[in-house]
Amino acid sequence: MYSVVTEGLTKKFNSFTAVNHLSLEIGEGEVFGLLGPNGAGKTTTLRMLACLIAPTEGSAAVAGYDIQSDPLKVRQSVGILTENPSLYERLTALENMDFFAQAYGLLDPQERSRRIRALLEFFNLWDRRNDKVATFSKGMKQKLAIVRATVHKPPILFLDEPTAGLDPESAKEIRDLMAALSQQEKSTILLCTHHLEDAEKLCRRVMIMNRGTCIIVGSPDELREKISGQPVIQIGLKQVNAKVLAAVKANPQAKEVTVNPQEVALMVTVDDARSATPELVEEVVQAKGQVLSVNVLRPSLEEAYLKLIKEENKQ
């Protein structure tokens, strides 16, 4: 069963189409990334799925409930991190979390406080629990908002840029939490992000959207390969000489060979790194090249993403 299914989901603001016939399927327990430049329509998609705004066209089901006819059921099944943390500034972190947990129907006080404590401790906020939220930094508020979104253990999570504005350590904490939620609680997570690293590390599949439409969807590996093709083998040498270079160029698997500017490494583009690497290394060694290191480089998701968006915007 799918946790989220959309079909031709469309949102128009007046005549402007923010989301344009978007169709996607997210499996149960899957972490799905939604990428795309500013204004691509990520937040708008999320808001429609969370029943905060009604779609202009198309349909969607979340946790099996139609977003148009069953908004209450949808809302009970999801935890949402919105763009703004929106907390009661005058109340303490604990009071805020306690209130929202109750509002979400976590009635047993012991279970509630256990859950809140575990989450606050996870984010190292337990010591600050009695401080007013007004005194919290942006990142701390963001963490509280994530605690709020997850406190009632919703089976589905919609997270809009959870790591925006966070330091690398905090961003890692949030990634770890998402990983833990997906593995231990089998939560389905729909993640909007600009941090391609997050997407690469966490998401089983990602979708890149631009101007309201889906450009491409697939696993991070698939996207990388689809977009920027072949792997590159980097062979680090004590020194590059003509004999070594000629030997490598002679190998039929080497599609393209370049020497790095410091003249200490060869960059060899191949089709299949697994079969090419041992052959190439052997030839270098026979040509009396002194090998220091061998790496197989793949383009990062970021490179792939940038290339893709650039091509898209040229059209």
Ligand X SMILES: Nc1ncnc2c1ncn2[C@@H]1O[C@H](COP(=O)(O)OP(=O)(O)OP(=O)(O)O)[C@@H](O)[C@H]1O
Residue 18 binds ligand X, judged by CB under 6 A? yes
> Of the candidates 69, 103, 278, 307, which one interacts with another protein according to CB under 8 A?
103
Burial grade of 213 (CB within 10 A; 0-12, 13-18, 19 or more): middle
Beta strands at 156-160 and 188-192: parallel, antiparallel or unpaired: parallel
Segments of 68-227 assigned E as strands: 78-81, 156-160, 188-192, 205-210, 213-218
d(C-alpha 79, C-alpha 154), whole Å: 6
**The two three-digit tokens of residue 233, written as one number:** 């083998």
Segments of 102-255 assigned E as strands: 156-160, 188-192, 205-210, 213-218, 232-237
Q: Which is nearer to another protein, 107 or 242 (CB)?
A: 107
Considering only the stretches 57-65, 89-97, 135-143, 224-232, report the one whose residues sit in contact with another protein under the rule CB under 8 A.
Answer: 89-97
d(C-alpha 98, C-alpha 72), whole Å: 22
- β-pair partners for 235: 266, 294
State the binding partner of 1 from another protein, Mg ion, ligand X, none, CB within 5 to 8 A by kind.
none
> Of the candidates 37, 52, 197, 230, which one interacts with another protein according to CB under 8 A?
52
Binding mask 19-38 for ligand X (x = CB under 6 A): -----------------x-x
> Of the candidates 59, 68, 76, 228, which one interacts with another protein according to CB under 8 A?
76
List binders of another protein among 9-38 (CB under 8 A): 13
State the binding partner of 99 from Mg ion, ligand X, another protein, none, CB within 5 to 8 A by kind.
another protein
- Residue entry with tokens 């190292």: 124
Name the packing angle between helices 168-184 and 138-150 (round to 10°): 0
Q: Which is nearer to another protein, 95 or 225 (CB)?
A: 95
Considering only the stretches 74-82, 116-124, 226-234, 251-259, report the one whose residues sit in contact with another protein under the rule CB under 8 A.
Answer: 74-82
Residue 43 binds Mg ion, judged by CB under 5 A? yes
Contact set with ligand X (CB under 6 A)? 13, 18, 36, 38-44
User: Which residues make up the interface to Mg ion (CB under 5 A)?
Assistant: 43
